[in-house]
Structure 1
Amino acid sequence: MTPAGHRLLHLCSLTLAAGAVALLALAACGSSPRPDHSAHSAMPGMDHTGTATPGSPPSGMPGMAGMTTDEGLAAERDGYRLDSPATELPAGRPVSYPFTITGPDGRPITDFAEVQTEKLHFYAIRADLTGYQHLHPTMAADGTWTADPAALDPGTWRLYASFTPNTGPRKGKEFVLGRTLTVPGTATAVPLPAAGDSATVDGWTATVQGDLTAGKAGPLTVSISRDGRPVTDLQPYLDSYAHLSAFHQGDQALAHLHPITPVAGDHGGPSLTFYALLGRPGNWRVFLQFRTAGQVHTAELTLHVA
């Protein structure tokens, strides 16, 4: 072999040795197994590889627990089911709505994680997106919940239960399940108000800023004012400074959100930032709840999503 050939053989040997060392280092660090992306599959702001999508907030940011891709359009998901013997409720007077959440084994669940200070959030809204109610039912020892909505107008209503199992195969996963029921009587549909960026309730004005695209998490800023002056004394409500529920016109898909703004006593406002994930284009009826001086206010407005 020529001297040049010897030098080439020596260079190749060094290259192969370096590659072997690198492979051994990778194996020792545990890098060779295929990565498991299942933990990210249900996280808003993540794609299927677990990579943050554009415009998404950092994981673990306050308020992100309120983001879920469930929309309350099904009574059952992943073996968890919202059941109730009631298919009708009377109109015009307060009523009780009994229900259970059953698990994959078919038995009522009694162990729920506390989310936003409550173990279950219950929503009710009529098909024309009027009559919004947000309740926190009580649960009996056998797993039967009882919600006590205020008087309901005649029409078709959708009822939602938002919860997180504290045991079982989906422990820690948030679910939003829903069922419809009828309130007998003559129903008069109310047209959806036009889309706008502000609403006034009890003297407080909520102004919303943000361009949302269906299916993409994006920032939404809400500013609270009174008589034209910024409000800076919002009190915590459900462990944050506001709670936002949005219902899609047409199918009543639900999105519920909390601001990522950290809570620091009774000093919230004037601006609160949400990361909104609304899954469908079109109009959404928004109900923004916030607390001042011990009173919860609910501002209502319509948002259009491209």
Structure 2
Amino acid sequence: MNTGLRITVFAAALATTFGAAYGVGGAVDAISPEPDSGTRGGAEGHAAGKDEKAAARHDEVKGGGHEAVSPGGLKISANGYTLDLKTPRIEAGKKTELRFAVVQDGTGRKVTAYQREHDKELHLILASRDLTVYRHLHPARAADGTWSTPVNLPEAGGYRVFADFKPKGGEALTLGADLAASGTYEPADLPQRNTTARIDGYEVKLDGDLAPGKAGELTLTVAKDGKPVRDLQPYLGAYGHLVALRSGDLAYLHVHPNGEPGDGKTQPGPEVSFTATAPSAGAYRLFLDFKHKGEVRTAAFTVNAGGVEDEPERSSQTKPAEKEAAGHAH
């Protein structure tokens, strides 16, 4: 749908100036998604909707598509709304209910009226500070405005919680807060640069460059057992869903695909393309969600957006998520 890169306001901890180069890490840790909560349409959500161009004007690329505004997700409060994370600490390796609410500043009331965006009222993403754990969740909302979803984070350490939503009558926002997982913590280096990712017998190859201040096309090609996958299933209203997080401060870049199912020209694989602009030079982690044979999988990449010397490249091996309760792994 050629919207270019939307840099969504993704939680309150994106506030540091980025300058991290690639980590020369050891083995790439598992990208361990959580299953969907099973509410509001099951697996489908966060689609690249038809009103994508109109959403989140404060996040769109300006200056003819070459100069991006400051990345979002750096604040816990914005535009009169605050993310109230009611579960700021959990125990690593233990299933816990994560609870939060969006509160309207001034009145202190919890927001209960949302405009559905990408098939959901709200989208929640968790990412570890070292960018080795990533999860896209769809929590359930109680009548009083409190959201909840089960989580089981595999490693101790610091995480960012990103809430992506649009209050009824307002503009699209992404707010967030820090989440701590207790336990023995061993920080990991940023996974090494890679343009090939493997998971569950699938191989995903990334072609194209992520450039600072300049729109560019990223093409991801999906294969299974060495054969191109030509029957990808729609997920979140598209054949692929891509999120990019900047190393150092976890600035959130929400990238939408070029084309959508049913538009008469977009094929269901093996290629899925996106148009993206990085807000600065540096290292980024890209997480591609794709659906095939009824299951959603996540392929992860580390890329350089210019200005940082490349490290030797290697492929990334991702482990499947542990299945929990009803819903899909993501």
Establish whether TM, by shorter chain, passes 0.5: yes
Partner of 1:293: 293
Shift of 1:70: 4.9
Q: Give the Cα–Cα distance (whole angstroms) in 2 for the partners of residues 187 and 157 of structure 1.
A: 12
Partner of 2:244: 246
Shift of 1:43: 5.6
- CA offsets per residue over residues 30-67 of structure 1, 9 Å max, x none? xxxxxxxxx996362432xxxx335x9xxxxxxxxxx9
Aligned length: 249
Higher helix share: 1
The answer to whether 1:118 aligns with 2:120 is yes
Q: Give the Cα–Cα distance (whole angstroms) in 2 for the partners of residues 69 and 272 of structure 1.
A: 27
Q: Give the Cα–Cα distance (whole angstroms) in 1 for the partners of residues 276 and 167 of structure 2.
A: 24
| Change in CA separation of 1:156 and 1:145 when aligned onto 2, cut-off 3 Å | same
Shift of 1:187: 0.5
Task: Give 1:135-284 correspondences, 5 Å limit.
Answer: 135-167=137-169, 171=170, 173-264=171-262, 268-284=268-284
**SS of the residue 1:42 aligns to:** helix
Partner of 2:65: 53
**SS of the residue 2:62 aligns to:** coil
Shift of 1:188: 1.1
Task: Give 1:56-75 correspondences, 5 Å limit.
Answer: 70-75=71-76
Shift of 1:87: 2.3
Q: Do the aligned residues in 2 keep the contact of 1:205 with 1:224 (CA within 8 Å)?
A: yes
- CA offsets per residue over residues 228-266 of structure 1, 9 Å max, x none? 332110000011111112211111111122312221399
Shift of 1:224: 1.3
Partner of 1:100: 101
TM-score, structure 1 normalization: 0.75
Taking every aligned residue pair, what percent have the same amino acid on both sides? Answer: 35
* Aligned-residue CA RMSD (Å): 2.4
- CA offsets per residue over residues 156-204 of structure 1, 9 Å max, x none? 111110111122xxx2x22111100221222112222211212111112
Q: Do the aligned residues in 2 keep the contact of 1:44 with 1:217 (CA within 8 Å)?
A: no
Q: Give the Cα–Cα distance (whole angstroms) in 1 for the partners of residues 152 and 214 of structure 2.
A: 35
Q: Give the Cα–Cα distance (whole angstroms) in 2 for the partners of residues 94 and 230 of structure 1.
A: 37
Partner of 2:317: none
| Change in CA separation of 1:45 and 1:249 when aligned onto 2, cut-off 3 Å | closer
| Change in CA separation of 1:69 and 1:219 when aligned onto 2, cut-off 3 Å | farther
- One-letter amino acid of the structure 2 residue matched with residue 259 of structure 1: P
Q: Do the aligned residues in 2 keep the contact of 1:241 with 1:263 (CA within 8 Å)?
A: yes
**SS of the residue 2:250 aligns to:** coil
Task: Give 1:17-56 correspondences, 5 Å limit.
Answer: 42=58, 44-47=60-63, 52-53=64-65
Q: Give the Cα–Cα distance (whole angstroms) in 2 for the partners of residues 142 and 216 of structure 1.
A: 43
Q: Give the Cα–Cα distance (whole angstroms) in 1 for the partners of residues 133 and 217 of structure 2.
A: 27
Identify the range of structure 1 (287-296 vs 122-131) with the bigger mean alpha-carbon deviation.
122-131
| Change in CA separation of 1:268 and 1:109 when aligned onto 2, cut-off 3 Å | same
Partner of 1:8: none
- One-letter amino acid of the structure 2 residue matched with residue 126 of structure 1: S
- CA offsets per residue over residues 103-154 of structure 1, 9 Å max, x none? 2443211111212211111111111112211100000111111122223421
Give the number of the structure whose alpha-carbon radius of gyration is greater: 1
**SS of the residue 2:91 aligns to:** coil
| Change in CA separation of 1:41 and 1:291 when aligned onto 2, cut-off 3 Å | closer
Which of 124, 129, 132 aligns to 1:130? It is 132
Partner of 2:40: none
Shift of 1:68: 9.4
Of structures 1 and 2, the one scoring higher in RCO (CA 8 A, sep 6+) is: 2
Partner of 2:17: none
Gaps of 5+ in 1: 1-38, 57-66
